[in-house]
Structure 1
Amino acid sequence: MREAVERRLQDRRRTKPSLRPSQRKGRLLHVRSGLSAEKTLLLRVGIVAALIALVIAVFWFDRDGLKDQIDGHISFPDILYFAMITVTTVGYGDIVPVSHTARLIDAFAVTPIRIFIWFIFLGTAYELVVQRIVEEFRLSRIQKQLQGHIVLCGFGHSGFIAAQETVSKGHPADHIVVIDESEDRIQLAADCGFVGLLGDGTSEDTLKNACVGKAKAVIVSTGRDDTTILVILTVRHLSAATKIVANIKQEENIKLANLSGADLVVSPPKIGGYLMADAVETRYATPFLCDLMSAGGQMVLSERRAEPDEVGLTMAEVTAGMVVQVHSHGRDIPFTERNRYIIQPQDTLLIISPPTDARNPSPPAG
């Protein structure tokens, strides 16, 4: 695992990011063509040139149907000139179609080509200029509103559940920024009300566009431990204070994630193993624990500071719910002390209580 991370770090030093320039700008929810902007422009220039050449060829083979009002003679430069002013709809009237065939060709062959060429011009101008300006304006406006938000790197199954649970616990959906390299997942994130950034979570530019320095927390769930650790390193490099929660699959990589700067590491396979082991000997414990972890369950496990009117009470005397643990000045007070421990100011309570309203949409496949 360590060798894999080191190799990927070396690859990042040797090579530039594989994202297109528009992606490195952090454009929101744009349609990706699969080609770079330069290749797209060259391809369209080639199509336009081919269509103009086709118009020139058509006019040349039907030059007898054209009339030059100046000298009465149609030469190849005249055809080239007439094709260009016809395609651009300028039309000076010095060369005109006079035969029925020439007029039909101009109406049913050249006119569709002319319209198609203008569509290419307008589409290219919108995609390469107007759309980028609009997207950068939208991104700038969103960035000004981001403060205390959550950045989610990776919108697979686990990332989707994490985002929905975060919303269920009261965090606004439009203050969750989703980063993923899959356009389909970014579109799904937008449909859910999140802010979507199509890009690489290991890229500093992408993370800066997501304003990780002002984020409340960054959740890293990329699906690969080496990628997750790279994201952690990059986020920690950009912000020393932002809380990082990481999803790590292999238990041996948990230590690496912690050393990389993660504040909290969650290992779904490990948690799943605990639940399955409990399910062997019990029937109701595992469903209850799963229900407890979900904001839409019958009971909710939450964490908060002790209220002023709770200070001085024992854990058992708190009426807002069942206090199962207290974190006090670096110490964890267990449930067994609930009748003896007196709650102090600034204590953090872990409470099981009735849930608030929750939503449970279906997660994405994969």
Structure 2
Amino acid sequence: MFRRPDLQPLQRRALHDWHGLAVRVAIAISLLVLAFAILWFDRFGLRDNIDGHLSFADVVYFTMITVTTVGYGDIVPISERARLIDAFLITPIRVFLWLIFLGTAAEFLLKRSWENWRMQRIQNTLREHVVLAGFGRTGQNAMAELLSAGTKVGKIVVVDADEEAIEIAKRAGVATIRGDATRDEVQKAVHIERAASFIVSCGRDDTSILAVLTARQMAPGVRIAVAVRNSDNEDLAQQAGANIVINPVGFAGLLLAASSHGEHLAEYLRDLATARGDVRLQERAATADEVGQALKDVSNGRAVRLYRGRTALSPWDPGPPDIQAGDQILELVPTEEAQGGR
């Protein structure tokens, strides 16, 4: 599967990174303590060529130079047992320590430098992309629908502060950035000003609305859709600059209510809402040859609504509306036809 690089370096280093470093440091210290304990209990097999006396500090010194270098010859093993201990116990500890040091250097220096370079390359190509802020269940379902509707993997960028969510997004093959979607620097990193749309589902209404407000200030023309759970916050989300405000709880209530009026109503509504169903709603601009025609006479009678600015017109309104240039037509189409037109 196509993999996009993680844009992680723009965010403050995650706690799990520091945890991994702490674990490595703890292992290294444990190995050093183990090496010291072995050498201390066998200190009578060592000889100090400087003063002939082997102190606690001498054993600490000998431990450090033994596990990190080949030694200087001032303290040497003289007994057969001491030499065997150095060969079969201290040497493996030395090797493990070097592996930890080299692995840490590769992880925290080389790998991050490489990711920074790859991040810059990806940022330069981000145009007309979709930014998903929040990658919980709602965000994951939104990405699945985008992919099913024909959006290319390389045109999706996921923003989330949770490392586990980012790993899930990376396995799906999309570009990712771990960070706070409400922060200016994070939205700059995903070039929100060049995005085609911004989908926000941060889990908390206040966080989602703040992300919308930040995006609208940075990208006045981007199309923003946000999910809010509390109906009282829907107006706030619109005032923050969201084009579309969706209440998942309210939508679930509509499906439940529809099911009480007919066995198949809720099923058909779900079909309309997903790109994986048999039919779907498609929004498009009115074509030049449709201008002047009645809405009921276009799209083979499948047009269900016309949007003129913020005004919604129906084919069944008294005196069916005539189409004007700039109108947006909402129509029912088979899923195959919608995907074929992309």
Superposed pair shares fold, TM > 0.5: yes
- Greater displacement, 114-123 / 324-333: 324-333
Q: Which residue of 1 aligns with 2:162?
A: 182
CA deviation after TM superposition for structure 1 residue 80, in Å: 4.7
State, as a whole percentage, how many aligned pairs show the same letter.
39
CA offsets per residue over residues 155-201 of structure 1, 9 Å max, x none? Answer: 12221111111222222122211122222221111122222222222
8 Å contact from structure 2 (residues 282, 338) kept in 1: no
Counterparts of 2:123 and 2:141, CA distance in 1: 24
Question: Which blocks of at least 5 consecutive residues in structure 1 are unaligned?
Answer: 1-21, 360-366
Q: Which residue of 2 aligns with 1:288?
A: 268
Counterparts of 2:59 and 2:10, CA distance in 1: 44
The answer to whether residue 199 in structure 2 is matched with residue 214 in structure 1 is no
SS in 2 for 1:128: helix
- For residues 23-34 of structure 1, what are the structure 2 equivalents within 5 Å? 25-26=10-11, 33=16
CA deviation after TM superposition for structure 1 residue 355, in Å: 0.6
8 Å contact from structure 2 (residues 228, 247) kept in 1: yes
Counterparts of 2:30 and 2:202, CA distance in 1: 44
Counterparts in 2 of 1:306 and 1:104: CA distance versus 1, 3 Å: same
Counterparts of 1:341 and 1:352, CA distance in 2: 18
SS in 2 for 1:273: helix
SS in 2 for 1:123: helix
Question: Which blocks of at least 5 consecutive residues in structure 2 are unaligned?
Answer: 1-6
Q: Which residue of 2 aligns with 1:64?
A: 44
Counterparts of 2:228 and 2:125, CA distance in 1: 31
8 Å contact from structure 2 (residues 285, 326) kept in 1: yes
SS in 2 for 1:274: helix
CA deviation after TM superposition for structure 1 residue 95, in Å: 4.9
Q: Which residue of 1 aligns with 2:93?
A: 113
Residue identity matched to 1:33: H
Aligned residue among 137, 140, 145 for 2:125? 145
Residue identity matched to 2:147: V
Q: Which residue of 1 aligns with 2:54?
A: 75
SS in 1 for 2:281: strand
Counterparts of 1:278 and 1:179, CA distance in 2: 35
- For residues 1-366 of structure 1, what are the structure 2 equivalents within 5 Å? 25-26=10-11, 33=16, 35=18, 40=21, 44=24, 48-49=28-29, 51-66=31-46, 73=52, 75-76=54-55, 79-92=59-72, 95-319=75-299, 322-328=302-308, 330-337=310-317, 340-356=320-336
Counterparts of 2:338 and 2:291, CA distance in 1: 30
Counterparts in 2 of 1:352 and 1:61: CA distance versus 1, 3 Å: same
CA deviation after TM superposition for structure 1 residue 320, in Å: 6.0
RMSD of Structure 2 on Structure 1 (CA): 3.1
8 Å contact from structure 1 (residues 189, 196) kept in 2: yes
TM-score by length of 2: 0.84
CA offsets per residue over residues 38-67 of structure 1, 9 Å max, x none? Answer: xx46x7556545543543443343233335
Q: Which residue of 2 aligns with 1:362?
A: none
SS in 1 for 2:260: helix
SS in 2 for 1:148: coil
SS in 1 for 2:336: coil
Counterparts of 2:266 and 2:143, CA distance in 1: 23
TM-score by length of 1: 0.79
Counterparts in 2 of 1:104 and 1:168: CA distance versus 1, 3 Å: same
